[in-house]
Structure 1
Amino acid sequence: MTVPVASPADRRPSVRTSSVRARDARWRGALAVLEEMRREPGVTRARVAQRLGLTTGSATEITARLRELALLSEAPAAASGRGRPTTVLHPHPDGPVVIAVDIRQEDWRIAVAALDGRPRVAEEGTHASRDPGRVAEAIAAAVRRLHGRLHGRLPGRHGGRVRAVSVGVAATVRNGGVTQSAALGWDAVDLAGLLPDPRLPLFVGNDATLAGAAEARYGAAAGAGTALHVTIEVGVGGTLVLDGRPVAGATGAGGEFGHLPFGDPALRCPCGASGCWDLTVDGRAIARHLGEPPPSDPRTYAQAALARAAEDPAVRSAVGRAAAGFGRGLAGLVNAFDPEIVTLGGFAGPLRAAAASEFEAAVTGGLMRFHREAPPPVVPAALGGDGVLYGAAATALDHVLTEEGLSAWAAGRGRPHSESSRAKER
């Protein structure tokens, strides 16, 4: 973005401070309205004004500015008794978007999300190779195709609707990069090549952490101050979410629940440690209990085992042992973190349902006595398989929906927000 040369008056601290405060105050109202639209897609302007304590005139003025900047659009709301007619707020059809990517053990998906934060899957595929370079190049090509369709040209010096790319990956993520992935068989991998334009920001996060953050914002844990999310895909992942923010640890690698030593210490995990919980709960555990070789795709194998469990006692027993191992570990996490609610993602919910008695007995036996009296509810994740995409989109939109992000968007349309507002005021 071009930075204007300051005039002598602009260099005076009092003038500059006043200017910055005025600019920030303008964006604060706009950001508050956009956050309400993001929190509740399809919300009415009247409802937003009520929540934010805005007068009808202020709400009308702010939404008019946001329409002018292609940040939202309005449509008449359905009539509901007496009162002034109002409008429903939606993301503008030409407004900013982010690209969200979900890289799983066997496949990948790419979605686009507007300012309402709801990802819409645009392309998906399976890994043709386990080589990280080839996987990344296939995904990068799909991201470039999507970016090309969305990019467009906007008036002014800057163009492009895509404002960020955010990636959720089944891997340990430290300092914004992939350190290793037991699920994918990767060591450190650079995903910078997924950016279709090097000027865009790239966010990389652990898949389970992003899914847990999304559940706390939009899903089954919405409104909880302390929420625990646990998911099973290939091994166990998850996160502890405090007031809507996942606890990421010192370097971002927090939440690797599957590598807690809750399992058999004689078993060596692909991560390099022994006795990992991962090896006790997923398709590899079920196969081991049945005397079968480790499956190439533990997730698909586990799903098939659940389907066979009702007719095959041996499979039912193996599933029950995995469910008990999961329940014991989950009790340990509840004892450690004291969550208000626990959400289960991926294979965790079906595993619990398939062997409910073994799971419940293991959880109850593992809980401290005071927790047994009032255990936190354990519920299925509301976002299902889309949780990672929701979380990745939310991470990117947190960057877009800032004063700096909206200022850059306004400048890209050829007319800074402050100039637009002053013109309306004159």
Structure 2
Amino acid sequence: MTARVGTTSSRRGRWQTAAEVLSLVGRQPGITRAAVARELGLSTSSATEVTARLRELQLLTETPAPSRGRGRPTSVLLPHPEGPLVLAVNLRQGTWRSAVVSLDGTLHEQVTTPHRSRRPEAVLASLHERVEATAAQYGDRLRVVSLAVAGTIRDNRLMQASTLGWGEVDLSPVVGDTGLTLLAGNDATLSGVAESRTGAAAGAGTALHLIVEVGLGGTLILDGIPASGATGAGGEYGHMPFGDRSLRCPCGASGCWDLEIDGRALARRLGDAEPDDPLSYAEAVLQRTDPAASAAIELSATSLGSGIAGLVNAHDPDVVTLGGLAVPLRQSAPAAFDTAYRSGLMRFRRATPPPILNSTHSTDGALRGAAALALDHITTEPAIAAWAEPTT
């Protein structure tokens, strides 16, 4: 590979503004150079200089912005066709999805792959094959692999994933000896990141995101950053003791909120055996209109609304966003949900409770959140300096 433009002396102290520009391109795809200058408080000449530098480094390219009448023409900033990429992966109960992602957050080459086996080593080997193939295709343009997992993550280790039936698992075999950086996070947390960046919670300083699939997860987002706790394992809202204390959750705790909301709760209330696929079971029940199904749905919606009220009392968010089964669950029993939500709020909150909005990104949320995490990583000053290093 030929050397990229830049020397040690000229690079020193020059990457902070570049990092801010690249971050804006990721958060506001198609942003103009004039808008970048306004947002960052740059002069026209400074904006021109920094974008020219980013073009030379094969990080951005510019095309003329659509004409808006009179005035000086400006340019739309887009990822360079030879610029850095990340691989985002969402590991779910029955499948995993992957996408190659450019600096503006666009998902390319999306692939959904069913698990050939549910054994951890088999799934991780399949993911590693995808990583190796992508690295072979793109070379050193591929910088990071970002993995969203339906489980509790601590320092790139999966501590437990009840939906997969896994205990503690080392996730490093996903990248193996490729030399790529691995970033791993909880899928619900990353869905919340996506909603706060470019979805229903965009612009909110404090946002609470909740998603129901097999169990319930979520995150509290503060100025676009998830409050992940001391070890990165925060946001396990489904394991708060909002449920029946006589029920033992696969996580090891008693009375988990999970067990009052998802397909397992619906099956228990309908007198059915616990389903092998609680997500598909719940989707089927939500399509039913018979009295038994309606009663079971109403109880789950009540538990969902009541629990959200408790979290609102605790976190004081500007907005609450819902994803996954939480959306049709609320829609199927709106009166029960709303009554439980409002009655669970502290009195002073009831006049103007935080709005509860459906997520924008739906099933793409975790993948887009994983992409956002990786793009944050490759648009830091050290990462830009590493990209600019002359290589042979």
What is the match of residue 3 of structure 2? none
1:288 match: secondary structure: helix
1:166 match: secondary structure: strand
Change in CA separation of 1:92 and 1:20 when aligned onto 2, cut-off 3 Å: closer
Shift of 1:200: 1.5
Cα-Cα RMSD: 1.7
Give the whole-Å Cα distance in 2 for the aligned partners of 1:403 and 1:24: 10
Shift of 1:25: 3.4
What is the match of residue 4 of structure 2? none
Tell me which moved more, 22-31 or 227-236: 22-31
Shift of 1:40: 1.0
Alpha-carbon contact 2:23-2:376 (below 8 Å) kept: no
Asked if residue 357 in structure 1 is aligned to residue 357 in structure 2, the reply is no
What is the match of residue 408 of structure 1? 386
Give the whole-Å Cα distance in 2 for the aligned partners of 1:21 and 1:285: 62
Alpha-carbon contact 1:69-1:413 (below 8 Å) kept: no
Tell me which moved more, 137-146 or 293-302: 137-146
Give the whole-Å Cα distance in 1 for the aligned partners of 2:390 and 2:220: 38
Give identity over the alignment, percent.
Answer: 54
More contact order relative to length (CA 8 Å, sep ≥ 6): 2
Equivalent in 251, 259, 272 of residue 271 of structure 1: 251
What is the match of residue 290 of structure 1? 270
Asked if residue 43 in structure 1 is aligned to residue 31 in structure 2, the reply is yes
Equivalent in 191, 195, 198 of residue 175 of structure 2: 195
What is the match of residue 150 of structure 1? 138
Matches within 5 A, 1:89-128: 89-128=77-116
Matches within 5 A, 1:152-191: 160-191=140-171
Structure 2, unpaired ranges of 5+? 1-6
1:262 match: secondary structure: coil
Structure 2 residue identity aligned to 1:284: R
Alpha-carbon contact 2:26-2:375 (below 8 Å) kept: no
Shift of 1:21: 9.5
What is the match of residue 377 of structure 1? 355
Alpha-carbon contact 1:24-1:403 (below 8 Å) kept: no
Structure 1 residue identity aligned to 2:385: S
Change in CA separation of 1:210 and 1:220 when aligned onto 2, cut-off 3 Å: same
Give the whole-Å Cα distance in 2 for the aligned partners of 1:30 and 1:106: 40
Structure 2 residue identity aligned to 1:364: R
Shift of 1:344: 0.4
What is the match of residue 347 of structure 1? 325
Tell me which moved more, 58-67 or 294-303: 58-67
Change in CA separation of 1:268 and 1:32 when aligned onto 2, cut-off 3 Å: same
Structure 2 residue identity aligned to 1:67: R
Structure 2 residue identity aligned to 1:250: A
Alpha-carbon contact 2:25-2:104 (below 8 Å) kept: yes
Equivalent in 181, 185, 192 of residue 212 of structure 1: 192
Structure 2 residue identity aligned to 1:381: S
2:20 match: secondary structure: helix
Structure 2 residue identity aligned to 1:62: V
Give the whole-Å Cα distance in 2 for the aligned partners of 1:22 and 1:410: 11
Give the whole-Å Cα distance in 2 for the aligned partners of 1:408 and 1:197: 19
Give the whole-Å Cα distance in 1 for the aligned partners of 2:277 and 2:216: 15
Q: TM-score, normalised by structure 2?
A: 0.94
CA displacement, residues 289-313 of structure 1 (integer Å, 9 cap, x when unaligned): 11011111111111111112xx322
Which of these two proteins has the greater Rg computed from alpha carbons?
1
Shift of 1:197: 4.6
Give the whole-Å Cα distance in 1 for the aligned partners of 2:150 and 2:77: 35
Asked if residue 301 in structure 1 is aligned to residue 261 in structure 2, the reply is no
1:392 match: secondary structure: helix
Equivalent in 353, 372, 388 of residue 394 of structure 1: 372
What is the match of residue 157 of structure 1? none
Give the whole-Å Cα distance in 1 for the aligned partners of 2:377 and 2:363: 24
Shift of 1:395: 1.3
Give the whole-Å Cα distance in 2 for the aligned partners of 1:121 and 1:37: 20
2:350 match: secondary structure: helix
What is the match of residue 20 of structure 2? 32
Give the whole-Å Cα distance in 1 for the aligned partners of 2:94 and 2:265: 19
Give the whole-Å Cα distance in 2 for the aligned partners of 1:32 and 1:235: 37
Alpha-carbon contact 1:122-1:146 (below 8 Å) kept: no
CA displacement, residues 8-29 of structure 1 (integer Å, 9 cap, x when unaligned): xxxxxxxxxxx99974432122
Give the whole-Å Cα distance in 1 for the aligned partners of 2:35 and 2:351: 40
CA displacement, residues 341-387 of structure 1 (integer Å, 9 cap, x when unaligned): 10101111111011111111111221111121221000011111111
1:285 match: secondary structure: helix
Equivalent in 219, 228, 234 of residue 208 of structure 2: 228
CA displacement, residues 270-323 of structure 1 (integer Å, 9 cap, x when unaligned): 111111110100011111111011111111111111112xx3221111111111
CA displacement, residues 129-180 of structure 1 (integer Å, 9 cap, x when unaligned): 22111111112212222222222xxxxxxxx100111101001111221001
Alpha-carbon contact 1:110-1:143 (below 8 Å) kept: no
CA displacement, residues 169-193 of structure 1 (integer Å, 9 cap, x when unaligned): 0011112210011111100111111
Equivalent in 329, 347, 371 of residue 307 of structure 2: 329
Alpha-carbon contact 1:283-1:302 (below 8 Å) kept: yes
